[in-house]
Amino acid sequence: MSNQVNGISKRLIVESPNVKLVDGVLESKFNYRKNHFEHRADGLHVTPKEHEYSFKTVLKPRKTGLLLVGLGGNNGSTAVGSIYANQYGMTWRTKEGSNQFRHPNCHCAPWLRLGAQNQIFVPFKDIVPILSPNDLVISGWDISNSNLYDAMARAKVFEPELQEKLRPFMEPIVPLPSVYYPDFIASNQGDRANNVIPGSNKLEHLEHIRADIRKFKQDHELECVIVLWTANTERYTDVRTGLNTTADEILKSIGSNEYEVSPSNIFAVASILEGAHYINGSPQNTLVPGIIELADRHNVFVGGDDFKSGQTKFKSAFVDFLVSSGLKPECIVSYNHLGNNDGKNLSEARQFRSKEISKSSVVDDMVKSNQILFPDAKNPDHCVVIKYVPFVADSKRAMDEYICSIFMGGKQTFVVHNTCEDSLLASPLIYDLAILTELASRVTYKDGDDYKPFHSVLSILSLLLKAPVVPPGTPISNAFMRQFSTLTKLVTALAGFPSDTDMQIEFFTQLPQSK
């Protein structure tokens, strides 16, 4: 006899012997079918196998706080202002008429397709309960002491009428003093740095940030805290033995005031030691091996790197389409210009190099997926250019040219022009990263005897990040739809039913008649 469970939502009822609800915890069993491959002298041997997983998902979301590093930047002020606009149902006039903010419950996947034949679509939040952006308690740090109203006005993201409606809520918010090591960000940021933790002792800075996190958690009686870096892109830090390749090394390096310990390293370590999850929304290599080991030691999630919002999100879908269609990308040239502070910071070479790496690596796994098109696994010529043009402010221009080899030595060229408000693409990603991290904190699984949490490197966030950080030994996937499929299939497995396959066999065979 099947169990009928109506604990997920009012709309979705799962009738299955593999799912049950016990004291607010959804327990589900999932048969994971996976092909195992072995190269032998006579060919490639395939062995289909099944692995049984059990999941437990606490249905009630936890009271969650989000601490933004870079609270006073374009992304931070936009993310905070948008939540107030939504909470108070604000409307404002634009040239096109009246507008009203309506938040997505999970912007990356607001609706999921559950049924192939009947084309059933269900909101993400109706499959497993998730936070709304309105539920998040937000604070954070910034090297500038501008209140969020002034920061919002400087960013020029919102319409003036909306800015004035937000003023009573934004003006009282002043970011906490932040960590500032001038060598890690562009020299042109020095005039903003009037809100920094004094001194140069990195261990003292670490303890200061830890105290900020503890106070935030206590003041708001939070069950879950997430620290997210949305501040300036840093230059890459060295990774070497003795500095940061183990947890003990990074702690020792902070204690001895090593020069190569970056501000983002300080925030990541402080978060982990306080049991707060850490997400790196910029492209620098914050999550060095020692920090990943430290997160694993403390059972804390880390995720990164670099928000995947506009141009790169399109690239991660389009290049996958090209390769899957048998078109061989030979040359990809991406040009950007933007006028916000991110563009200003990236105008210096070392900071730009961090961004160039994250933008360029997005096609790597697609090249490796097709040995017919890419027999030598050589990546396309891939050039990324970013220019700072103050006049365009947060309105980013991105232009891409894709040149492909096609049949009989021919060429096909695609040219794409994209104009977007940079922070209006990034801010929903901030919400989504926090929402998915909080969801993951409520899930345990077992494939043997004992339940355990997901790996400390939270790779399900890869959909939202340009250069995904994954557990050691795990292949990196950049292709957008593959990442999307991974996330959606995991969510349905948590709810107690597998996603429909996309084979759609019923459309070209005759299904048995239902009794």
Three-state DSSP at 182 gives helix
Q: How far is CA 35 from CA 19, 32, 63, in A?
A: 25, 10, 40
Could you confirm whether 95 is annotated as catalytic?
no
Strands 381-388 and 14-16, sheet pairing: unpaired
Catalytic residue among 165, 217, 359, 396: 396
Catalytic residue among 202, 217, 355, 359: 355
Amino acid residing at 121: F
Catalytic residue among 125, 156, 344, 466: 466
| pLDDT tens digits along 184-239 | 987 787 888 999 999 999 999 999 999 999 999 999 999 999 999 999 889 999 99
CA–CA gap between residue 240 and residue 246 (Å, rounded): 10
Could you confirm whether 308 is annotated as catalytic?
no
Could you confirm whether 359 is annotated as catalytic?
no
| pLDDT tens digits along 328-357 | 999 999 888 877 777 666 666 676 666 666
Q: Give start and end residues of each alpha helix (H) in 244-329.
A: 247-255, 263-273, 289-297, 311-324
| Secondary structure (DSSP) of 374-435 | -TT-PPPEEEEEEEE-GGGTTEEEEEEEEEEE-GGG-EEEEEEEEEEEHHHHHHHHHHHHHH
Could you confirm whether 191 is annotated as catalytic?
no
Domains and CATH numbers, the chain: 311-421 (3.30.360.10)
From first to last of its 515 residues, the chain has per-residue pLDDT tens of: 334 444 444 557 788 888 999 999 999 998 888 888 899 999 999 999 888 899 999 999 999 999 999 999 999 999 999 999 988 888 888 777 766 554 433 344 455 666 655 667 777 888 889 999 999 999 999 999 999 999 999 999 999 999 999 999 999 999 999 999 999 987 787 888 999 999 999 999 999 999 999 999 999 999 999 999 999 889 999 999 999 999 999 999 999 999 999 999 999 999 999 999 999 999 899 999 999 999 999 999 999 888 888 788 888 888 888 988 889 999 999 888 877 777 666 666 676 666 666 666 777 777 777 888 888 878 888 888 888 888 888 788 889 999 999 998 999 999 999 888 888 989 999 999 999 999 999 999 998 889 999 999 999 998 899 888 888 878 778 888 888 888 888 988 898 887 766 666 666 676 555 54
Catalytic residue among 142, 212, 305, 306: 306
CA–CA gap between residue 354 and residue 289 (Å, rounded): 17
What pTM was computed for the model? 0.89
